[in-house]
Structures are given as C-alpha cells and as structure tokens.
C-alpha cells in the first residue's frame, strides 16, 4: 500500500513504503534497491517478532560484540554469515557450474593468503602430531585434460580440530597450510595429518548465541582447497571425510555429494596411515566474470 504524498512519515504499516520512496532520487539505483529490500525485510522481522526496546538493545549489543571480536586472526562477521547459511546461499547463487565441475563451498574464517609455496611432496604438518595422511590429487578440465601449473592452496584443522591461527601459542605458524603447483599431468601430492572434525568457534558472540539457541555447531572433518588456473573459474572448496558421523549435519551447509572423499587406511613403509585420492574438475571462466 502506498502512503501517498501527505502521509505522516511514520506508521507501522506504511513505514517500509515510505523508507523505499525516500530513495526515489538515488543516483545509484542498485544500492537503493538493495537497501530498500534489506530494510523492508528487517521491518517485517520486527513486526513479526515484536521485540521490546530492551530486546532490541540486546540485539544491538550482540552486533557490537561481533565487531569487537574481529581482529587479524579472527573474523566473527564471516562466522555469522557462515552459520546462518548466508555464505552458502551467496556461493550457490553465484557459482552455478556444469554438473561435472567441482562445486564451490564456503571458504570459512581460517584462510590465510600468506601461506608458504612448497614443492610437491612436502609435509605440511610442521609438528608431526596426528595420523599420517597422504593426499594425492589431479586437477583437470571438463574433458579430463590435465591442468598444469594450477595454484593449489590448502589448509586444514589438526588432529584435534583446531587451525593454526586459532592456536598461535600451541601450533607452529603455517602449520597444515601450503601452496602447491600442479605438474604437467595436473597432479600434486603432499603429506599431512588426518584432520578431525570440530565445533565451530563457540567462544565468541556468534557461537555463544547459536549454542544458547540449541543450534548444532559441528563441522565434519575436511581439507580446504582454493585452486586457481588461468582461464578457469577458481575453485574454493572442501573435501570431506566420508566416514565422519557428522557429514549430514554440517553447521554451515558446506557438504555436497561431489565433495565427499574416501580416506583409505594404508600401511606405507611399515607406517600405518591414511590416503586420499581426489580429482578436481575446473570449468572455464565465463567471459568478464570474476575468476
């Protein structure tokens, strides 16, 4: 319902229309449309939930705490976006790919852009704590042709389910991280330790709020990969352990059937361990699209 030119600026039913109309002179129509949509939905939530002023103060205090919890090692806003499914939805809408291409999933808050470049075959476990895992993979295009010289960044939690940047005093810097280049057959391999699944961080405002509401915070065990190659859409994804009992209840909606891998038990040179073989399939980048 349109409030008309003489309508008072505030009334519970007409507020959203009035708000949207105030953008009628906007230069940036896209920004105006987005703001009007977001705020209209916020008004709807308030009309539905009917918070008291004290409730609303709590909401503002929560958002303030989220901001204060962020620093160079911690991105609480990303965690909020991930846990409410917003990151997964944005990824899904923006990275529709041919069926046989490896899908993207949420990048998560523990990525570091400054991980070291390593020769193929390196061991990325700098403290050697955990069960040995040999990862071997091929990067190929939709026709099965090798993609040589692709840049593969990997990072993972340790055998207790913690990332190096969550435990700067307990794990060596860059533990369980590395950047590799595929060889002429599109392959790379490295040694690591088998990651454990984990609860997403529950010591900050986001984890505490969702935990208090009984929301499951578990993530199944996985390895992270970002794979870049000239002319191809960048893959930012995870590979999950098929035997993890929490595969079906991932807190951040990151699990897709194509991303589930088989961690096979092996005995390498008399040493018990695990092996993962995986194939990443890259689709060509769309012209003019961000890769």
| Smallest separation, CB 110 to ligand BEZ (Å) | 5
- In DSSP terms, which residues pair with 79 in a beta bridge? none
Closer Cβ to ligand BEZ, 32 or 217, answer by number:
217
Dihedral-angle region of residue 154 (phi above 0 means left; psi in -120 to 50 means alpha; beta otherwise): beta
Which one among 80, 124, 176, 200 touches ligand BEZ, defined by CB under 6 A? 200
Residue nearest ligand BEZ, CB atom distance? 108
Nearer to ligand BEZ, 134 or 164 (CB): 164
x/- mask, Fe ion, residues 108-127, rule CB under 5 A, reads x-------------------
User: What is the number of H-type helices and E-type strands within the chain?
Assistant: 6, 11
Cβ 113 to ligand BEZ, closest distance in Å? Answer: 15
Helix (H, G, I), strand (E, B) or coil at 153: strand
Phi, psi of 115 (to 5 degrees): -65, 150
**Given 76, 82, 134, 140, the residue binding ligand BEZ (CB under 6 A):** 82
d(CA 134, CA 138): 14
The least CB distance from residue 102 to ligand BEZ, in Å, is 16
Q: In whole angstroms, how far apart are CA 159 and each of 29, 128, 129, 170, 171?
A: 49, 10, 7, 13, 12
In the complex with ligand BEZ, which residue's Cβ is closer, 180 or 225? 225
Contact code string over 90-109 relative to Fe ion, x by CB under 5 A: ------------------x-
252 binds ligand BEZ (CB under 6 A): yes
Cα 156 → chain centroid? 12
Contact residue for ligand BEZ among 106, 115, 118, 137 (CB under 6 A): 106
**82 contacts which partner out of ligand BEZ, Fe ion, none, CB within 5 to 8 A by kind?**
ligand BEZ
**Of the candidates 103, 108, 195, 207, which one interacts with ligand BEZ according to CB under 6 A?**
108
If you search the block for the tokens 């400054």, which residue do you land on?
A: 114
Pairing of strands 235-241, 260-261: parallel
| Cα distance between residue 190 and residue 212, in whole Å | 40
CB 106 to ligand BEZ: min, Å: 5
What is the 8-class DSSP label of residue 259?
Answer: G
- Give residues in contact with ligand BEZ (CB under 6 A): 79, 82, 106, 108-110, 200, 219, 252
């Amino acid at each position: 319902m349109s409030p008309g030119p003489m309508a008072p600026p505030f009334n519970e039913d007409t507020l959203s229309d009035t708000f949207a109309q105030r953008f009628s002179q906007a230069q940036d129509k896209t920004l105006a449309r987005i703001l009007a949509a977001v705020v209209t939905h916020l008004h709807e939530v308030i009309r539905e939930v009917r918070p008291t002023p004290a409730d609303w103060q709590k909401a503002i205090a929560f958002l303030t705490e989220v901001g204060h919890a962020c620093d160079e090692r911690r991105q609480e806003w990303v965690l909020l976006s991930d846990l409410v499914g917003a990151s997964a939805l944005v990824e899904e809408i923006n990275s529709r790919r041919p069926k046989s291409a490896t899908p993207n999933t949420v990048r998560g808050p523990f990525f570091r852009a400054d991980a070291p470049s390593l020769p193929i075959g390196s061991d990325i476990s700098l403290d050697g704590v955990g069960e040995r895992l040999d990862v071997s993979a091929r990067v190929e295009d939709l026709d099965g042709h090798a993609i040589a010289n692709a840049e593969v960044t990997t990072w993972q939690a340790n055998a207790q389910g913690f990332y190096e940047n969550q435990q700067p005093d307990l794990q060596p810097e860059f533990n369980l991280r590395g950047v590799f280049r595929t060889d002429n057959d599109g392959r790379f391999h490295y040694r690591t330790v088998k990651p454990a699944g984990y609860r997403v961080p529950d010591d900050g405002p986001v984890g505490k709020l969702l935990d208090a509401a009984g929301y499951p915070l578990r993530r199944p065990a996985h390895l992270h990969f970002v794979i870049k190659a000239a002319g191809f859409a960048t893959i930012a994804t995870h590979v999950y352990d098929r035997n993890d009992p929490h595969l079906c209840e991932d807190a951040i909606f990151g699990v897709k059937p194509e991303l589930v891998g088989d961690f096979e038990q092996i005995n390498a040179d008399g040493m018990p361990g695990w092996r993962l073989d995986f194939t990443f399939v890259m689709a060509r980048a769309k012209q003019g699209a961000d890769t």
